[in-house]
Structure 1
């Protein structure tokens, strides 16, 4: 979906002492405002949304915030500070208050994708008064339990296909609670998640495709394109352990606002089963779990029309 009236702007704000970048898309500034929290950690989503022409702006004024240390918000090594989940929650609050003031709203919507669902859940838990609703896309529950499912999935699938090379590679890497530190495991894991249809998108999404999207992004300068690559490494180094060890089923169990979970049935990056477990435990004034049968980790890319339709009919016009 495209719109000739689309207005796109790049902004920089100083947020809690750090310069941070935003990309704003809107076709009507009177529309509801949505803050999009990207995944990773450290992996801005805007270049992919631009490439696939996913127009969340047909429903919202959208703010793609590039989190501290990532993308437009990356700083050189000598300027880098420790990045923590707690700091990012406070950054999200400041960004939200900026959007509320800029667009003259009482509250806005917040959407997290993958790692962004952990950040989003903690942000909404602490500052519910700022938000109309929370939308978790490819929702995290507990990283370690999800990862156990992922390992079993690729091993089982390799045996089902009698893929001897895969079986040998998968069984050769050690899986334990420190998996996030193990580059050999992560390389094998991503290779076979992509091959077996459970990755970023079902058809597979290579590092080269990611780089192509980043380096063709019209909103980035050449330096910002390079910084986007650098920021991914820095952010994961600082936040990988938090992502792996935080159990939302223990940490975030109640919301004061409506929540919506959009989950791909074939997601083996943040597994469907683990998202569902977390959802079942959540208390909220209204909640809904929406399944995308033909999607893996990114239903907004894989079933875009259905994704936008559910946003319009269920989130913006809840029963």
Structure 2
């Protein structure tokens, strides 16, 4: 949770001509089933138009809306690496939030900045849910919130239980205490690693949060760069370079979209959304009317595992489940993709209407011409 900057991932590698590569990836991912759906479209979302992707091998499957993090770190350009197996069981919707992702290249930032807030993004999410429900003929959807998106997703599930069948939190953010835990545990990780210089540099950044509760953006970003050294962002990776490089292969993204993704979203720091992210506290929501499933990486420091687990212990819901991924930190779906899929199928799918069986049809090659 924090608008990530590619400065944490330099040097970056770019592909001079992406078209042949993205065509290969796109062709390999093509949905071929007659029951399937593969759509990339702009939709009206209140006062804005935003891009969504809808993919699945059977459009009758339950719908899963992926709410990305950051704020401003879209996951649409990375989903080619982990999402395909989900599409057997769910119709997966990726939504790029206002002003970021595929919406970034042509965005009027000065016009958007006054509109950016947690409440506005939650309203946008509700509009996307309504669009998808109508398009696919569904009463409810699963909301999966990742990182900053787990705040948005939790509010969606809490505010609109008539539209949401279950809430899934990945890299679950909870509230302002997350940052204090991040600071404390990153210093401890540096000391365990025998990195005295890093520990001293981290201590010099403090106190964090400040005595007045302020959370300086530059310190929060620096902490995450340090946390990455000690498996706190992506287990086994010391930075987020792979994440930024992976966007190069995204069939959904133009060259301009990838360039905007690489530039990061630090401009959001000028909006209210940063204040909302740093001050919102999910513990104030009280109980949920829908089942809650948390899928958390043991070593996550970006949205600390300890905070997510503590919130889980106190929250009230019709049913709740926590799955800990023992070799993951923040990007669980990339770090342990097989176990993540198993959790979706065994823990989340039963909370929906279920995946219907395929009808027996001729082979694709036997279709009448």
Contact 1:71 1:231 in 2 (8 A): no
TM-score scaled by length of structure 2: 0.79
Whose Rg is larger? 2
Aligned to 1:172: 204
Asked if residue 241 in structure 1 is aligned to residue 275 in structure 2, the reply is yes
RMSD (CA atoms): 2.1
Rounded Cα–Cα distance in structure 1 between residues aligned with 2:152 and 2:137: 24
- Whether 1:36 aligns to 2:66 is yes
Unmatched 5+ stretches in structure 2: 1-27, 353-369
Aligned residue pairs total 314
User: Per the alignment, in what secondary structure is the counterpart of residue 251 of structure 2?
Assistant: coil
Q: Give the TM-score taking structure 1 as reference length.
A: 0.91
Distance 1:118 1:112 in 2: 7
Within-5 A mapping of 1:1-319: 5=31, 8-52=38-82, 55-74=85-104, 75-82=107-114, 83-142=116-175, 144-174=176-206, 175-177=208-210, 180-183=215-218, 185-199=219-233, 201-204=234-237, 206-230=239-263, 232-238=265-271, 239-250=273-284, 252-318=285-351
Q: Deviations over 1:236-263 (max 9, x none)?
A: 442222212111112x121111111111
Contact 1:266 1:297 in 2 (8 A): yes
Q: 1:23 to 1:161 in 2, by over 3 A?
A: same
Q: Structure 1 segments of 4 or more deviating over 4 A? A: none
Once the 2 structures are TM-superposed, how far is the Cα of residue 210 of structure 1 from its aligned partner? 3.1
Q: Following the alignment from structure 1 to structure 2, what is the Cα–Cα distance between the partners of residues 302 and 234?
A: 29
How many Å separate the matches in 2 of 1:135 and 1:72?
A: 24
- Give yes or no for contact 1:179–1:186 (8 Å, CA) kept in 2: no
1:231 to 1:164, Cα distance in 2 relative to 1, 3 A: closer
Alpha-carbon offset, residue 23 of structure 1: 1.5
Report the 3-state secondary structure (helix = DSSP H, G, I; strand = E; otherwise coil) of the residue aligned with 1:111: strand
Q: Which runs of 5+ in 1 are unaligned?
A: none
Sort the Cα spacing of 1:205 and 1:114 in 2 relative to 1 into closer, same or farther, 3 A.
farther
- Identify if the C-alpha distance between structure 1 residues 292 and 53 changes in structure 2 by more than 3 Å, giving closer, same or farther: same
- 2:169–2:293 CA contact under 8 A, matched in 1: yes
Deviations 1:106-140 (A, max 9, x none): 11111000111100111111111001111111111
Provide the secondary structure at the position in 1 that maps to 2:300. coil
